[in-house]
Amino acid sequence: MTASGEYGRDDFGQGGLNEGLDVAALVEEIGLDAEEIRWRKEFVGFDEEDERRLSRYEDAFAENADRIAEDFYENLTGHEQTVEVLGRSDKGLDQLKRTQSAYLVTLANGEYGTEYFEDRARIGKIHDMLEMPMKHYIGQYGVYYDLILPLIGDRLVDSLTDRLAPDAAGAAVDDATATAIEEEVDDAIEDLLSVLRIVNLDMQVV
Determine contact, residues 7/62, Cβ cutoff 8 Å.
yes
Determine contact, residues 103/141, Cβ cutoff 8 Å.
no
Alpha-carbon gap, residue 122 to 113, rounded angstroms: 15
The per-residue pLDDT for 110 is 86
The per-residue pLDDT for 10 is 79
Which amino acid, residue 58?
Answer: E
The per-residue pLDDT for 5 is 67
CB-based contacts of 200: which residues, under 8 Å, 6+ apart? Answer: 138, 139, 141, 142, 145
Alpha-carbon gap, residue 128 to 149, rounded angstroms: 27
Question: How far apart, in Å, do the first and last CA atoms of the chain sit?
Answer: 39
Give the number of other Cβ atoms within 10 Å of residue 109's Cβ: 21
pTM as predicted: 0.85
The per-residue pLDDT for 12 is 78
Alpha-carbon gap, residue 113 to 34, rounded angstroms: 8
Determine contact, residues 135/204, Cβ cutoff 8 Å.
yes
CA-wise closest residue to 100 among 80, 74, 82, 118:
74
DSSP string, 78-95: TSHHHHHHHTT-SS-HHH
The per-residue pLDDT for 15 is 65
The per-residue pLDDT for 173 is 77
Q: How many residues does the chain have?
A: 206
The per-residue pLDDT for 111 is 86
- From first to last of its 206 residues, the chain has per-residue pLDDT tens of 455 568 887 777 666 667 778 888 999 999 999 999 999 999 999 999 999 999 999 999 999 999 999 999 999 999 999 999 999 988 889 999 999 999 999 999 988 999 999 999 988 898 898 999 999 999 999 999 999 999 999 999 999 988 887 664 556 778 888 899 999 999 999 999 999 999 999 999 98
The per-residue pLDDT for 3 is 53
Which helix (H) or strand (E) is 134 found in, with range? Answer: helix 134-163
